[in-house]
Chain A
Amino acid sequence: AQKITQTQPGMFVQEKEAVTLDCTYDTSDPSYGLFWYKQPSSGEMIFLIYQGSYDQQNATEGRYSLNFQKARKSANLVISASQLGDSAMYFCAMREVTSGTYKYIFGTGTRLKVLA
């Protein structure tokens, strides 16, 4: 079974508008972390935002916010006021502990295109 599911292979958004990228996860571990990364065409992975499973409030980092709905096991990324430079691949990832070691699992990604 997929542990991290990103159902949107591609998304378009008009410049200056907000966009939501979906991510659902599956784990039986009570302690886990959720991450979002941006990967531009250069290939580098850019860390955007983190949400811990015990965090009471949704994480925010500038124009990025994470809509964390624990009961639904979803961790959607919201990008406000989209910019042309936001065009990239976006990956949702989960960190879980397996046999005492961390393991990170990535979703299949969503390609975002911001339109001028």
Chain B
Amino acid sequence: GAVVSQHPSWVICKSGTSVKIECRSLDFQATTMFWYRQFPKQSLMLMATSNEGSKATYEQGVEKDKFLINHASLTLSTLTVTSAHPEDSSFYICSAPGEQYFGPGTRLTVT
């Protein structure tokens, strides 16, 4: 079946630095990828939808200049958290549409 991978699985960074998270579809092409954020003991909140060849669509309240999304190819979407702060610490998950396959998630800790 379809597999979505994410890298890194966890990352610790200092406040003010930027972190890039990669999401890859391993055996299929994805023109769309969804990016979610999950705070501890909370649900998944859709942040944005990345679209190959066009701009990402951001959900209300999500800063597009802080969370840069690039859908570079049909198998790769990236989320860059710019100038990260401790409140950005969260679990970030990408998924492909259709049967809704999720990547394993990236746990970001900003110190």
Report which A residues bind B (CB closer than 8 A): 35, 37, 42-45, 47, 50, 91, 93, 95, 101-109
With A45-B95, A107-B43 as contacts: A95 and B100 at CB distance below 8 Å: yes
Please determine whether B44 and A43 come into contact, CB atoms closer than 8 angstroms.
no
Report which B residues bind A (CB closer than 8 A): 32, 34, 38, 42-46, 49, 57, 91, 93, 95, 97, 99-102, 104-105, 107
The number of inter-chain residue pairs (CB within 8 angstroms) is 45
Interface of B, helix, strand, loop or mixed by DSSP: strand
> Nearest-CB distance from A116 to chain B (Å)?
24
Most buried by B among A35, A95, A106, A108: A106
Would you mind naming 17 contact pairs between A and B with Cβ atoms under 8 Å apart? A43-B91, A43-B93, A44-B105, A45-B44, A45-B93, A45-B105, A47-B100, A50-B99, A102-B97, A103-B46, A103-B49, A104-B46, A104-B95, A105-B46, A106-B44, A106-B45, A108-B43
